Amino acid sequence: MAALTDPDRQDIADAIARELSTLRLVLGAMTKADLRAAINAADAWADANASSYNTALPLPARTVLTAKQKNYLLEFVLRRRREVS
């Protein structure tokens, strides 16, 4: 999958800020610009490491799942890891 567009990244930053505010969580000393830089870095990392993730998947997942399904799989695993930690 392609890297996110600039407006997509801003939408994520806005959504994270809203969600953290709703949960009464704070980003500490991070500014909105810091959050945006972190989102940019995470998106760039995901783009740079997509082939490594694909290679790590066992067959048949590597060949049968679409890119969108692989992303959903990773998202689900990461969300679950956050919930149990």
Using one digit for the tens of pLDDT, what is the confidence trace for 25-66? 667 777 888 889 999 999 999 999 999 999 999 999 999 999
Looking at residue 40, what is its pLDDT? 95
pLDDT at site 23? 67
pLDDT at position 63: 97
Buried b or exposed e, range 44-69, using 16+ CB within 10 angstroms = eeeeeebeeeeeeeeeeeeeeeeeee
> What CA–CA distances, in Å, run from 20 to 14, 23, 66?
10, 5, 31
pLDDT, position 28: 74
Question: What is the reported pLDDT for 55?
Answer: 97
State the pLDDT at residue 29: 77
**More confident: 66 or 1:** 66
Burial class of residue 24, CB neighbours in 10 A (0-12, 13-18, 19+): exposed
Q: Is the pLDDT of residue 1 over 70?
A: no
Predicted pLDDT of residue 3: 78
